[in-house]
Amino acid sequence: MNAPHQQPDDQWDLWEVFLQEGENEPHTHAGSIRAADAENALQNARDVFSRRGAVKNLWIVRSRDIVATVPGDTASFFEPGSDKVYRHPQFYRFTLADELWKKP
């Protein structure tokens, strides 16, 4: 990614756009736009991603400020969550008339 304000080309900074498209919906990534500053970014994001209303709220963030997992490492990075079956309700089994209670 380019260092701030030292663009090799004629283009503005790259920003990522997140839209909340309905009441009680999460913000989801919609795409990217180019803009010189935050105000300009909000306006461009509006013009590019909400030409038909339906957008409740809009977030923008400079692309270079986003930190993401590294694709090659994702398997090991997410490993701690992938082998814990007991974190799912399906792991637990019982009936209400369970004999367990009656046994000594």
Q: Which residues are near another protein by CB under 8 A?
A: 5, 8-12, 14, 30-40, 42, 47-49, 51-52, 68, 70-72
Closest approach of another protein to the CB of residue 89, in Å? 28
At closest approach, how far in Å is the CB of 10 from another protein? 5
Report the nearest approach of another protein to the CB of residue 36 (Å): 4
DSSP 29-66: EEEEEEESSHHHHHHHHHHHH-BTB---EEEEEEGGG-
Secondary element (H or E) of residue 96: none
Nearer to another protein, 11 or 57 (CB): 11
- Show the tokens assigned to 42: 């909000």
Burial of 78 (0-12, 13-18, 19+ CB in 10 A): exposed
- Closest C-alpha among 51, 53, 68, 54 to residue 16: 68
For another protein, the closer of residues 32 and 57 by Cβ is: 32
Q: Which is nearer to another protein, 36 or 98 (CB)?
A: 36
Residue 83 CB, nearest approach to another protein (Å): 21
Nearer to another protein, 11 or 98 (CB): 11
